[in-house]
Amino acid sequence: MNQILQAANNRISSIIEDRRHLHRNPELSFQEHETCAYISKRLLSMNIEHSIIAQTGIIAHIGKGDRCIALRADIDALPIQEDTNLDFASCKPGIMHACGHDAHTAMLLGAAAILKECESTLNGVVKLIFQPGEEKVPGGASIMVAEGALEHPKPEAIFGQHVYPDAPCGEIQISIGPTMASADEIYITIHGKGAHAAQPHQGIDPILIASELILHLQSLITKTRNPLLPGLLGITSIHGGSATNIIPDSVELKGTLRSFDPSWREQAIRMIQKHTEQLCALHGATSEVTILRGYPAVYNHEGAARFAIQTAQRLIGDAQVTDFEPKMWGEDFAFYGQHIPAAFWMLGVRPHHQASMPGLHNAQFTPDEQALPIGAAMMAKSAIDWLSNPIAYHE
């Protein structure tokens, strides 16, 4: 067994203990004060220097030298009522680590312990980034970057990982290039004119307009986008009206825009705004369109991703390392990749005896904890091997 993987397996009890503590005490985005304090306490117990950033984030450093590599974990939870019946289930009503950020944090703490133990042999600095607010726009990563997370020293590259319920426990999946989509939030209010439903000629029906608009926006997406470039628009919420015989004054729509292509993303945003205004005006109505810019697309830098693939193969064997099929999910790890080479992989957490399991953001999400030492070892080995390799890997 790989020496680093063995070191992680030797710490499995500690890693699981960290994960369960965090799972029991989840906190929402940008409110992770207890989580931040716990991480700080754990780092202090390992004699690892660190500082608070972005109010509830932490930057830690292990090693010395001119070179630097960064490892990132997100720490926030979701507004979901847990339904797992675990002994260590969330003690906070309506809040749950349903996306696995408790596991991400525990694995990075496990990697920190391994790295600290071999600190004297590191050929540079490993920067540990414990990041708040991944689940909420504008994304904690953007704030961390703005406050200098990638400076003093500047990392040559950054690695991150995410637990993945669609893959068997311990398998690592990674893609080169586009990995996750940009994610923007769409809010539209259509202002019509209320009237009795039996006298529609005296009103302007915003529900009818909303119906037409939804279909029209879908046609824009399918007919203006290169079909070889992934992209989607989904209207996921529509609210208006309160009775069977009243045409309401207004209707509210919400939705999401996803894309891998930055140019088409900008074009789609302009079209949504322009065509909504024009279609509403055609019916004598008005509209308000707000599009909140979310996360950019996650793009795995070729050099960093190939390096991560080779590292995983050395760690767990070729058969356990497979390609990741890009998803239209959003992930604020993308902000780091806009500044330095970045690679993001998936760690399988589906129990081997199960053909499937509840997915991410599900109230019954229960990852197999046997994957945690593999994730911790992968993070540690990526940092150690990167600092030990020539600059050619970074190009």
Half-sphere exposure of 209 (CA within 13 A, CB side): 31
Q: Does the active-site annotation cover 27?
A: no
CB 395 within 8 A of CB 156: no
What is the pLDDT at residue 392?
A: 52
Instruction: Single out the catalytic residue among 74, 82, 102, 134.
Output: 134
pLDDT per residue over 192-239, tens digit each?
A: 999 999 999 999 999 999 999 999 999 988 899 999 999 999 999 999
CB 88 within 8 A of CB 24: yes
Q: Which residues of the chain have pLDDT under 70?
A: 1, 390-395
> Tell me, what DSSP letter sits at residue 324?
P
Token readout for 316 is 């767990």
Using CA atoms, how far residue 15 sits from 22, 162, 377, in Å, is 11, 16, 11
Q: What is the domain class of 3-181+297-394 according to CATH?
A: alpha beta
The matching CATH number, chosen from 3.30.70.360, 3.30.559.10, 3.40.50.1370, 2.60.40.10, for 182-294 is 3.30.70.360
- Residue 289, amino acid: V
What is the pLDDT at residue 138?
A: 94
Q: What is the radius of gyration, based on Cα positions, of the chain? A: 23
What is the pLDDT at residue 389?
A: 83
- Residue 378, amino acid: M
Q: In whole angstroms, give the CA distance from residue 267 to residue 369.
A: 43
Instruction: Single out the catalytic residue among 18, 32, 76, 368.
Output: 76
Residue ranges covered by each domain of the chain:
3-181+297-394, 182-294
Q: In whole angstroms, give the CA distance from residue 327 to residue 348.
A: 15
Strands 231-239 and 321-323: unpaired
What is the pLDDT at residue 221?
A: 87
Q: In whole angstroms, give the CA distance from residue 118 to residue 173.
A: 27
Asked if domains 3-181+297-394 and 182-294 share a fold, the reply is no
What is the pLDDT at residue 278?
A: 97
Q: Does the active-site annotation cover 34?
A: no
CB 60 within 8 A of CB 43: yes
Specify the DSSP element, H or E, that contains 175.
none
What is the pLDDT at residue 391?
A: 57
Global confidence as pTM: 0.94
Torsion on CA atoms 39, 110, 89, 171, rounded to nearest 10: 140
By percentage, how much of the chain surpasses pLDDT 70? 98
pLDDT per residue over 360-377, tens digit each?
A: 999 999 999 999 999 999
CB 185 within 8 A of CB 269: no
Q: In whole angstroms, give the CA distance from residue 180 to residue 167.
A: 17
The beta-strand segments (E) located in the chain are 49-53, 57-63, 68-74, 125-131, 158-168, 172-174, 177-180, 182-191, 195-196, 231-239, 246-247, 250-259, 286-295, 298-300, 321-323, 342-350
